[in-house]
Amino acid sequence: MKRYFKEVGAELKKTVWPTKKDLVKYTGVVLAFIVVFAVVVGAMDFALVELLNLIVR
């Protein structure tokens, strides 16, 4: 068990962490994608509900 945690620590030291600038940029990209995806899903939901209302009437 002790060896496992030593190896985990060694691997974490090898990790290249993103800079603050990169982190902000990547976070912005993810948030923009989420907004676009939410709008697309919302539009599809609205369209399908309206279509079903037309069929039912």
What is the arithmetic mean of pLDDT over 16-22?
A: 95
pLDDT number for residue 35: 99
| DSSP letters for 24-42 | HHHHHHHHHHHHHHHHHHH
pLDDT band at 43 (very low <50, low <70, confident <90, very high): very high
Name the pTM for this structure. Answer: 0.66
